[in-house]
Amino acid sequence: MKYQAQIIGVVALCCVLGAMGAAWQFYFKETFEQYRADDAMREALERSLKQLEETFQGYKPDLLINEWQNKLQPWRNAREERAVYFNFGDWFEIDIVPDETRMLKFWYNEELDKMTMALYRMIYEKMGGYDRFPQDIPGLFNIQREDVTNMEQVRINLAYMSFATSVTEFLLNANVTHVESIVNWPRRIPSLFSQLLALQTVGLSFTMPARDLARMLDDLRQQPRYFTVEGIKITYPYIAYAAEPQLNVSLLLTQANYRKPPEEPEGAAAAGAPGRGMAPARPIVARPKEPGAFSKAWTWFKRNVLYMN
């Protein structure tokens, strides 16, 4: 009991020193290190500023910026001139004039039906039937009907219906004899091209004569706008037949559309650049469920009976 007060004092002093050490270790030490780092950054910035002042002494910033832009503008002009080559043409073109006296959904469904009937009529006139083309072409391009509620959705779906019609017309003009499948890819904007190009790819699987295939590929090569075949597979299983070769072809056909950088002013685009702007890109939507037997029968009746009449 003689040294009780001294022991308590020593213990209290140790607790205070321990608390101060913990505060330094876990709080003040990190704060002071950050202060030292900020001070080093300040000194580095001051040295850089002083160096810039000595290097560019007597020069006006506006003159330097104008000189830099003058060197950059020829590259921009060349890019805009080449941009005319990259466009979707009229493959997504639509003429939207909705009837304001009618509900948008009813007007849209009527326009979609007209485009669908015109599509199948074109197939029938060229092929003499519908059995040599995939069923439900609008469904292959994910054309929505029931869930369309606003003008933007109408514009996107009708644009892709126009694209479906253009792809079908392209195949018919190429003299295909049978189309196995059509697969529309989502719009791509690859960083490989600095996000200046939007790529639209469609996968095609069809049968056609060898000479027509050669002519089709040569026509694509001579188009005034960008087309490319990214991949192609050709098989000929009927080599023993004494007839004109009918080739089984699978290919990826890609188009590209130029995208003006958003930081550039609106007037920076060249005069020949695509005036209608980039065709709309649609978000990926889940494919609809497989139709039932009644729906298939009704579809067959419309295509083979109603459309023919």
Name which of 106-115, 216-225, 242-251 the model is least confident about. Answer: 242-251
Burial (0-12, 13-18, 19+ Cβ within 10 Å), 204 = buried
Task: Give CA 243 to chain center in angstroms.
Answer: 43
According to the model, what pLDDT value does residue 202 have? 96
Asked if residue 184 lies in contact with residue 140, where contact means CB atoms within 8 angstroms, the answer is yes
Domain-located, residue 176 = yes
Domain-located, residue 250 = yes
Q: Check whether 259 has a pLDDT greater than 70.
A: yes
Which domain does 227 fall in, by range?
84-306
According to the model, what pLDDT value does residue 287 have? 46
pLDDT one-digit tens code per residue, 47-91: 888 887 777 666 666 666 666 666 666 767 777 888 889 999 999
Domain-located, residue 73 = no
Domain-located, residue 70 = no
Residue of 82 and 225 predicted with greater confidence:
225
pTM over 0.85: no
Asked if residue 233 lies in contact with residue 215, where contact means CB atoms within 8 angstroms, the answer is no
Q: What is the rounded average pLDDT for all residues in the chain?
A: 80
Domain-located, residue 111 = yes
Structure-token pair, residue 154: 């109408």
pLDDT one-digit tens code per residue, 171-218: 999 999 999 999 999 999 988 888 889 999 999 999 999 899 999 999
**Number of domains into which the chain is organized:** 1
Write the CATH number for 104. 3.30.70.60
Domain-located, residue 22 = no
Domain-located, residue 125 = yes
Domain-located, residue 2 = no
